């Protein structure tokens, strides 16, 4: 059986099993999160692709999260979904440049930093619940991806939208945010909420002793 048909069979089974539900999210330590995902080159027909994207979206929103990559449900394809209602205070939105991101389904995404500006903020991951850490990332990126109709798209993203795109695209290269975080910033979600949930983690950087761009 070819790799393509194996992936298609696995997606068909996943979609059928969780047609009216959400898929289980793979936890850190599973090899699928540490391998290069295969490029999407039509392994799924149009209807199955749409159904799989909807499953990813349901699973992401129920978690809840603002992005989910196909490997996070066990499918090693270069696909991800992103959506951020940005339901945060005005102060947080301004400090983090976090503004609503409309739903995007991206195939074979990639990004390049635009300029040299970087920012550090706490991130989490649905595949590693209960923890969060600061990742210094490029503030602005040029994002490229293929949409569900097969058209190649380019977006200039900044702030939190750029962060989400980078985080999910990294997943497709077998990279998890913990590979890029400032080690001394790593905290339980409870400690983050109780101690470090400032709009900008300047105080956490000073008290925990980590670098902040």
* Model pLDDT for residues 178-190, shown as the tens digit of each residue: 999 999 999 999 9
Q: Dump pLDDT digits (tens) for 17-56.
A: 999 899 999 999 999 999 999 999 999 999 999 999 999 9
pLDDT at 55: 98
CB under 8 Å to 159, separation ≥6 — which residues? Answer: 96, 97, 98, 99, 139
Q: How far is CA 59 from CA 37, 46, 73, 124, in A?
A: 19, 20, 9, 16
Q: Residue 135 — pLDDT band, cuts 50, 70, 90?
A: very high
Q: Assign 67 to helix, strand or coil.
A: strand
**Which residue of the set 51, 140, 168, 182 is catalytic?**
168
Flag whether pLDDT at 125 surpasses 90: yes
Q: How far is CA 183 from CA 3, 52, 140, 159, 209, in A?
A: 37, 35, 23, 22, 10
Query: Mean pLDDT across the chain, nearest whole number?
Result: 96
Q: Give me the count of residues in the chain.
A: 213
| DSSP string covering 40-65 | PSS-S-HHHHHHHHHHHHHHHHHTT-
pLDDT at 1: 41
pLDDT at 5: 58
Ramachandran angles phi, psi of 195, nearest 5°: -120, -40
Flag whether pLDDT at 206 surpasses 70: yes
Flag whether pLDDT at 3 surpasses 80: no
Task: Give the integer Cα–Cα distance in Å for 81 and 38.
Answer: 16
Domains in the chain: ranges and CATH: 3-208 (3.90.45.10)
- Give percent of the chain above pLDDT 90: 97
Q: Dump pLDDT digits (tens) for 60-108.
A: 999 999 999 999 999 999 999 999 999 999 999 999 999 999 999 999 9
Q: What is the mean pLDDT of residues 189-210?
A: 98
Is 168 catalytic? The answer is: yes
Flag whether pLDDT at 4 surpasses 70: no
Write down the pTM of the prediction: 0.95
């Amino acid at each position: 059986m070819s790799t393509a048909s194996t992936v298609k069979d696995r997606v068909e089974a996943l979609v059928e099993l969780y047609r009216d539900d959400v898929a289980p999210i793979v936890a850190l330590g599973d090899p699928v999160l540490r391998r290069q995902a295969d490029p999407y080159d039509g392994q799924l027909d149009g209807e199955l692709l749409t159904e799989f994207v909807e499953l990813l979206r349901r699973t992401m929103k129920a978690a809840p999260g603002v992005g989910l990559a196909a490997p996070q449900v066990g499918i090693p394809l270069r696909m991800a979904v992103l959506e951020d209602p940005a339901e945060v205070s005005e102060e947080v939105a301004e400090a983090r440049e976090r503004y609503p991101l409309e739903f995007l389904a991206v195939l074979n995404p990639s990004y390049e930093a635009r300029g040299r500006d970087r920012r550090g903020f706490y991130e989490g991951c649905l595949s590693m619940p209960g923890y969060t850490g600061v990742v210094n990332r490029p503030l602005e990126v040029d994002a490229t991806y293929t949409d569900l109709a097969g058209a190649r798209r380019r977006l200039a993203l900044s702030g939190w939208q750029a962060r989400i795109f980078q985080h999910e695209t990294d997943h497709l290269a077998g990279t998890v945010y913990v590979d890029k975080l400032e080690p001394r910033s790593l905290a339980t979600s409870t400690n983050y909420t109780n101690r470090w949930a400032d709009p900008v983690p300047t105080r956490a950087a000073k008290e925990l002793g980590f670098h902040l761009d």
